[in-house]
Structure 1
Amino acid sequence: MISVVTGAAGGMGRIIVRELARRGDTVVAVTRSVAQFEHENVEVMTADLSSLDDVRRLAAQITARHGALHLLVNNAGAHFRDRVVNADGVEMHIAVNHLGGFALTNLLLPTLLAGAPARVVNVVSAAMTDTRQMKIGRHPRPVTLEPTPLTDLNGEAGFEPFTAYARAKLLTLMAGYRLAETTTGVTVNAVNPGVAGTKIVDDMMPAFMKPFGAMVKRSMLTPEQGADAILRVATDPDLEGVTGRYFDRETEARSPEISYDRALQEWVWTSSATITG
């Protein structure tokens, strides 16, 4: 079995790589910079997923080395406190959390089909259902999405980093639903692993909470617990052939209502494909 894991150097990523390697997979661990892993059957490849040129180079490197793939875990994620755009003019939450994985999945799709039955697992976030960082009151604030050019999404006016992060994860979820409907031989599912005490939590934490960061993270899931939810969707034999689903940790669940809008799904796919080529 040949597996690819992005965000492999992060808290959950390292655990996913370790457990896949332990079961005997050859694991392509995609990291932003060179990293070391304990198992000999781990191949480290570096890439900046905010750069489409780098994603294309990565995909070419993977396919040159492996003629068939059996699993792709789009685990990479990032949170940015300020609004920044990449070389293509796309806001960085969308560039890293959506377009990087979208482009990589499509570039690797022929190689995944060669390894069929294969799986794609997109790691998303419950932030899609409630973009409030402080959950005060009973009414959640789901992320919104309007069909506008992707280069205009998460614009400067009213920019909120956590909402921008949630919107990018929603794009990934919806593109995955669209791919699942049109692909045979490769299943595509999304999973929210829960809020685990990883580095991205440090990036998201409001400044006034920083002094209590260690205590806050102790109240969260461990990286191992978060990774377990991802690994289940990636490897559970009972999920063979299951596609187009969203899992809230171990439980199949309903994602935000907007994610089921077929017209919006098509817009997400077309807009993303236009930018990524």
Structure 2
Amino acid sequence: MTDGSRGEGATDGMMTRGEMAHASGLSPKALRLYDANGLLHPARVDPATGYRYYAPAQLDAARTIAALRRLDMPLARVREALACDPSARTELLLAWWDERRTALATGLVTVESLVTQLGDDAGPGTASGDLRVQERTVPERTVAAVAFRTTQAELVPRFTAAVLDVRTALARGGATFGTEFWVVYHGVLEAPDAYVEVCVPYTGAATPTGAVVLRAEPAGREAFVEIGAQRCAFPQILGAFGSVRAHARERGGTVGPAREIYPVPWSDDGHVADVAVPLGGTVLDPAPGARPSLGP
């Protein structure tokens, strides 16, 4: 018997399977799988009821597993990544991603060539007519962020590693955060390289550390489209960027950097991300000390 919520036999200070699933983005089924494979054992199993409990300190590992499995990283490689320090983990991610790129080299070259040709005619991100652009008001948010140069080919492993690093820094400082993160584009990824900023919204106290800066994301209006997992892939996602940019131009407002917002745990079905642009003059408003990390 396993638990889905805090119930009989609960242990103070521990997390039930349901609580761990909600906080980490791993489903109860995935938690059972990673227990069986030795990646994430419960800290305690009640011998009488079978209730499983996890220590709060295991949450970082659970979120790391969720992020890496979203990339379809094999379990053996995930195990290696969990044993690494942050810098070695980034190198492992990049090395594994390079292996995947090599295996798919022929198809990748074909896709990149086609995207370049389309970009020459229509510019990056041609609008897609089957996407519904919506608008919403967003409150001011405090985010921890890290920025770096990258190419489109290395984007996914780089931003995944950055999300894990930012969450680690926030956890050490005692801040509260969830599964949501953003990828903000300060350049065009079709260029040789571009500035990309990974942001994790948080509440509570936090301290800048290393490359991680803290800043306020101002309140305002934004245009967005909701997309599923299949549309998140490159180059399919370019249509979503084209749609929100076209909507912003029609509005006549100043458009800030485009971004991908991942508000919910990854799933192969349903809504997993928003592609959005700020409207009406809303632009990034970095805290003191943040801007140098974004500039050349």
Normalised to the residue count of structure 2, the TM-score between the two structures is 0.27
Structure having the higher strand fraction is: 2
Structure having the higher helix fraction is: 1
Which structure would you say has the larger Rg? Answer: 2
